[in-house]
Amino acid sequence: MSDVAVEGLPAQARVAGAMQGFSREIGALSAFRLESCIHCGICADACHYYVATEDPQYTPIWKVEPFKQAYKREASAFAPLFRLFGFKRAVSAEQLEHWQHLLFDSCNLCGRCSLICPMGIDVAALIEQARHAMFDAGLAPKELYDKAAHQRATGQPEASAEPYRDQLIAIGVRFDVRIPLDESDVDVMLCIPRTDIDHYPGAVAALARVMSHLGVSCTFRSDGLIAENYGYYAGGREWQRDISLRLIDTAIACKAKTLIVPECGHAYAALRWEAADLYGKPLPFKVLAVTEFLAQELGAGRLRLGNATTGPTTFQDPCQLSRTGGVTEAPRALMKAMGVDLQEMRNNGSFSYCCGGGGGVVDIERAAPLRYRTMEIKLREIDDTGANTFLTTCSDCRRTFDDAQRHFSWDKSPESLLELVAKNLIDAGAGR
């Protein structure tokens, strides 16, 4: 197992410290969730890792077993009895090293398990919290840790061949669209996944084109540009806060009233549903997913769309946007407005299976064989729709499916819904 050793302390001391920290910081809600589990195992049936492998260790609630153990031993109502009689042993370094595979390599934080629990437990929220303790114990996977450290220090997860500012300008030239950059006193600040800049520049151009078409006062900012948050993936709560703060401070500096998160699921989760808690107060601006913003514009009559000729089309709901983020109807409203012949997958919307790459899993090299195995469920569902076109609104989903296309010699590649919108813009006054 590759992990990141925190210098100074031996492994067991680090683990003990992390588990005590977990128990101290657990809070009433997480404690209640741990207390409520009745060991029914039903959550296994929601998890694509279990469904694909039938391996019981992938049961979602089992992924937090050491943390349940630590809570009962350190902080529960009868913790002294658990310690006195040895009912719950202290969590060992070896145990947590094994759990690194369960918490990072085989969990996308997709939240499907949270919809099946008969006790109503949000299992994914517990797993996310367990990742924090893993980070504190020095057990974040190296790929995620390194990217988080780099992003915290520089604003981007990896060094880029050219500064992203220059790349944005080049995208503007290549796609013949004005890229608003480093402006102040704007209504909207835009951020962008570095995955889009590196792999899907058409999505960057589409975002700029749509905003320009709508006449929105907006800007990208080179001092707060990258939407991804590897601190969120790695479990480093303070690092996640520092990475979010870069965007928050920049949005405040340019006086934006709205921060638009482009097609990136976890960036939306980190900024929309977690950033204010880390910031310590409500954000002084709104955070909207781009599809959410466009659906609002559509509803207000400011956005008009022509018919898209995509043929039978299916749609991949990014977990952090739809299931855990609440942005399920907005993309469907946009597709409906473009007359898209939507062929839903068997499990869709809030119940959709994850692409398999979420939660940082697509970045973890050793996780790839298991990821491919679990992805087969999703690829089969997509194929079963009979759709020729396959849309999504998350760059990590696109990257994961494109990787699957190469691995399986699959005949489909996901396309961006935002790019489809940009191709089908109609002037608001046209046809009136």
Partner 1 sequence: MDLLSFARGPALKVALAVFCAGVVWRIAAFALLRIRRDLNRPRNSLFKYLGAGLYTIGTRSWPHPEFIRRTGAGEALGYSYHMGLFVVVLLFAPHIAFLGSLFGITWPGLPNSVITVIAVISLTLFLAVLFRRVTSPVIRMLSNFDDYFSWFITMLVMVTGLAATAQIGARYSTLVAVHILSVDVLLLWFPFGKLMHAFYIFPSRAINGAILARKGAAS
> Smallest gap, in angstroms, from Cβ of residue 275 to partner 1?
7
Residues that bind partner 1 (CB under 8 A): 26-29, 31-33, 35-36, 38-42, 44-46, 50-51, 54, 56-57, 59, 61-62, 75-78, 87, 111, 114-122, 272-277, 279-283, 286-287, 323-328, 347, 349-351
Nearer to partner 1, 174 or 346 (CB): 346
* Residue (282 or 301) nearer to partner 1, CB: 282
Indicate the SS3 state at residue 389. strand
Torsion region of 201: left, alpha or beta (phi above 0 gives left; psi -120 to 50 gives alpha) = alpha
Minimum distance from residue 105 beta carbon to partner 1 (Å)? 19
Distance of alpha carbon 139 from alpha carbon 100, whole angstroms: 7
Residue 366 DSSP class: G
Please report how close the Cβ of residue 378 comes to partner 1 at its closest, in angstroms.
Answer: 14
Q: Minimal distance in Å, beta carbon 44 to partner 1?
A: 5
Nearer residue to partner 1 within complex by CB, 172 or 325: 325
**SS3 of 99, please?**
helix
In degrees, rounded to 5, the angle at the alpha carbon of residue 45 between the alpha carbons of residues 351 and 43 is 90
Element (H, E) at 65: helix 65-74
If the CB atoms of residues 123 and 137 are measured against partner 1, the closer one turns out to be: 123
Query: Whose Cβ is closer to partner 1: residue 56's or residue 163's?
Result: 56
| 4 vs 370, beta carbon nearer partner 1 | 370
Shortest distance, position 64 Cβ to partner 1, whole Å: 11
- Residue 414 CB, nearest distance to partner 1 (Å)? 22
**Alpha helices per DSSP H over 137-264:** 142-154, 164-175, 194-199, 201-214, 230-234, 237-253
Looking at beta carbons only, is 166 or 277 nearer to partner 1? 277
Whole-angstrom distance, CA of residue 398 vs CA of residue 403: 8
Structure tokens at 55: 């391996």
427-432 contacts at long range (C-beta below 8 A, 24 or more positions apart): 427/304, 428/301, 428/302, 428/303, 428/304, 430/304, 431/304
Q: Which is nearer to partner 1, 351 or 410 (CB)?
A: 351
Distance of CA 268 to the CA centre of its chain: 7
With vertex at residue 67, the alpha carbon angle to CA 61 and CA 70, rounded to the nearest 5 degrees, is 140
How far apart are CB 246 and partner 1 at their closest, in Å? Answer: 18
Torsion of CA 136, 142, 148, 152, to 10 degrees: 80
- Give which of 245, 225, 248 is closest to 237, Cα–Cα: 245
Beta pairing partners, 40: none
Residue closer to partner 1, measured from CB, 243 or 338: 243
Q: Which is nearer to partner 1, 121 or 247 (CB)?
A: 121
Max intra-chain CA distance, the chain: 79
Q: What is the DSSP letter of 263?
A: S
Q: What is the chain's percent helix, strand, coil content, to nearest 5? A: 55, 10, 35
Shortest distance, CB of residue 335 to partner 1, whole angstroms? 19
Question: Least Å distance between CB 35 and partner 1?
Answer: 6
Give the shortest CB-345-to-partner 1 separation in angstroms. 11
Q: How far is the CB of 46 from partner 1 (least distance, A)?
A: 6
Closer CB to partner 1, 6 or 276, in the complex: 276
The angle subtended at Cα 149 by Cα 368 and Cα 372, nearest 5°, is 10
Closer residue to partner 1, CB minimum distance, 76 or 316: 76
**Residue 401 CB, nearest distance to partner 1 (Å)?**
21
- DSSP assignment of 285-345, as one string? SEEEEHHHHHHHHHHTTS-EE------EEEEE--TTTTTTT--SHHHHHHHHHTT-EE---
